[in-house]
Every structure is written in structure tokens, then in C-alpha cells.
Structure 1
Amino acid sequence: MLIEETPLDPAALPVQAFRAHLRLGTGFSQDDLQGPVLEAVLRAALAAIEARTAKILLARDFALSLPAWAEPCGQPLPLAPVTAVHELALRDAAGEERAAAADTWRLEADTHRPVLRAAGAALPAIPARGAAVIRFAAGFGAAWAEVPADLRQAVMLLAAHYYEYRDAASAGAEAMPAAVAGLIGPWRALRLGAGGAA
């Protein structure tokens, strides 16, 4: 189970840049009416691109709860880039938590697949009927300027698409325009499984 522990800061959203991208005028009496609409489509575009790429654009904190390790020596984290692991806690069947010693694990940073690695032979044992809780920070940065340029452009294009087709009559419009898919393609993680790459 993955939980977002800190909400996205509305001040970090590039509302003014998006307004300029749409070439909307300013100084009109309806400016304040457009603000919530622009923020809503930006949030939707940001969420869609984060979901497609498993990359967190604007920094937030998350908690991942696991009943078992994927591998005893390392647990892949579902999001990137991970900038810090704040804590590895072990929760028992009664719901009580205790922090695992910080010298028993380390973060192996990676653009696509960061891993919580064991410092020794194995990660700390998870209690029976309990869980491991990994609390970590992910994101390119707290400011919009810290997000890679191609991902910033993808958000703008997708948000503009959502803005243009926001009425119910356009519900069948293409969900992910080709230009956006092209921009985010290099950021999508390569998944290997029984069927090969996906």
C-alpha cells in the first residue's frame, strides 16, 4: 500500500506559466474564475504523467507498507527519483511500530528503479502478520523549474488538452496525445517479466 503523506503544494503549480501557455489574457474580471479551472487541469495532467512514468515531478513524502520483501537483500521502490528514505519501520501484528536501525539499510538511487538495499546480508525481518513501512521523499524538486524540461512541456501540453476538452461532450477525446506520449516515453521505466519488456 502506497500513501502520499504530504499534499502537493498549490503554490508550486505553474498556474501563471500555464495561463501564458494558453495565451489567456489577464486583467479581466473573470481572471479569478479561471484560476481554479487552470489549477484543476494542471493537477490532473501532473497526476496522469506521474502515473504513466512512475516519476514524481514535484517533491512530496510517501509511505510504502509491505507484508513481505520482494527480495531479502533489496526492495525496489515504486516511485522515482527518491531523494531520501526517512525511516524504515517494522509494524507488528498489534500495529505497534519500531524503527529499524539506520545502519541496517541504505538507499540505492536510480533514475527509474531505486532500491532499499540491505547493508548486510538481508533487510530486517518483518514481524509475523506485520509489515515494513518505508517512509521516503520523492520528486525532482520543490520548485517547478527543477522538473526536467521535457516533463514540464508534457504537463503543459496535456493540461492544455484537458482544458480544451473539459466539457462532457468531449469525453471521448484521446486521453494521452501523441506529443505528450513522445515526451514522456524516455521517462517510462522498462519492465521485464515473463513476457519480456513492456
Structure 2
Amino acid sequence: MMLSVVTPVPDAALPVEAFKDHLRLGTGFASSGSEDALLLGFLRAAMAAVEGRTGKALLLRTYQWTLTAWRDATRQALPVAPVAVVSELRLTDSAGSEEVVAAETYRLVRDTHRPLLEALGIALPMVPLGGEARVTFDAGFAADWTNLPADLAQAVFMLAAHYYEHRQSSGFGEPDMPYDVAKLIEPWRTVRILGGGRP
């Protein structure tokens, strides 16, 4: 299985100015704008860490997920949540021939923690032997930062500030996720069973 991002989050969608305000409150940070690229990097790193721990996409983007078999013939848990829409299901055989599966044969079951691709008939289309299925979908809580769940947005700011404050440190002896951040994201974590099998 392979998950890839088709449309990365653009720099303009990240709240650099709001993060500067957060740093001023916590650390006495002051900037003329010369550190914007550095702050963007910390925001992206913090967002990736929070997304990795929770299995959630924060800002809306398009993904492609490629797999060689369904774990269940009737439904398949998707690897990221929440999913807004499944735009395409494409099958490729061992010779490279492709077929787009009719959207009327499956549906998205929306769920904050474990969205599903579910067959509307007897089963999902069979993945060709030696071939693969590629699911294209949009996932994320919101298209802009202001509409994210407040605790997740705060967790990103706190973790990015932690990275900023310890940017000169080797990291030895530092926890990989500060306790306060871990507590904020804990309710959003998904317990993964069998790598996305039946919930």
C-alpha cells in the first residue's frame, strides 16, 4: 500500500502571522518577516507530526492511495480521516491497462476516525491479479486554518513553538512530543487494527 499527496497544502494556507502572535505571547518573539520561511518549516513539521499521531488530515488536500488487495470484499477502511469525497476508483491490471470503476458501485461512509469505501452491490470490484486499485480522495477537516478543531490547531502551534524554542538543541533527552501537546491530540488518535482492516 502506498499513500501520496496529490495537492500539498500551500504556504498561504498556513497561519504564519497567527503563529508569530503565539510566539510573542510565549517567548517574547519579535520578527520583521525575515524568519517567515523558518516559521513555515516549523508549522509544517508540527502539522505533519500531529497528523501522523492522529491519522487525521488537518487542512483539506487530495490523496491517492494505491493497494493490491482489499482487506474485506465489501468495504475498505481508508488510511486518512476525515474524508470529504472519493473522486475516483481506478483499477490497473498487470499489463498496465486501466479501468475507472463506476461511482454508482461504491460509496463513501463518512466517519471522523475511520471512513470507509463500501460496496453498493455484493462486493467491491476485484483487484486484478498482479495489478492494483488506486483510490483518489479529498481529506481534511477544513480548507482554511480558522475552521480546524481548536484543540488540534492549538496543538500544532504549541508543537511548532517547541521546535522553535529548541531549534539549537541536538534533541538528546527531549521527548518527541511534549506532554501538553500529546494530551491535546489524544482524543483524536485512531487505534489502528490490522493496518486499516474492518473497524
Residue identity matched to 2:84: T
Q: What fraction of aligned residue pairs are identical, expressed as a percent?
A: 51
- Paired letter, 2:146: A
**Large movers: runs of 4+ above 6 Å:** none
Q: Deviations over 1:4-35 (max 9, x none)?
A: 11111110101001000000335xxxx23211
AA aligned opposite 2:130: R
Paired amino acid for 1:178 = Y
Question: What is the deviation of 1:170?
Answer: 3.9
Determine the C-alpha separation between the residues in 1 that align with 2:171 and 2:124. Answer: 50
Structure 2, unaligned runs of 5 or more: 195-199
In structure 1, give the amino acid aligned to 2:58: L
Which residue does the alignment assign to 1:25? 30
Pairs within 5 Å for 1:51-130 = 51-130=52-131
| 1:133 counterpart = 2:138 | no
Gaps in structure 1 of 5+ consecutive residues: 194-198
Deviation track 1:145-168 (CA, whole Å, cap 9, x = no partner) reads 111000000000000000011114
* Cα displacement string for residues 168-187 of structure 1 (whole angstroms, at most 9, x for unaligned residues): 44444221001000000000
Deviation digits for residues 27-75 of structure 1 (CA, Å, limit 9, x no counterpart)? xxxx232111110000000000000000000011001111000100001
Aligned to 2:157: 156
Query: Do the aligned residues in 2 keep the contact of 1:13 with 1:39 (CA within 8 Å)?
Result: yes
State the secondary structure of the residue aligned to 2:130. coil
| TM-score normalised per structure 1 | 0.92
What is the one-letter code of the residue matched to 1:32? G
- After superposition, the C-alpha distances for 1:110-143 in whole angstroms (9 at most, x for unaligned) are 1100000000110011111101100000001110
Give the aligned partner of residue 3 of structure 2. 2
Aligned equivalent of 1:196: none
C-alpha contact (below 8 Å) 1:165/1:173 kept by paired residues: no
Aligned length: 189
If the length of structure 2 is used for normalisation, what is the TM-score? 0.91
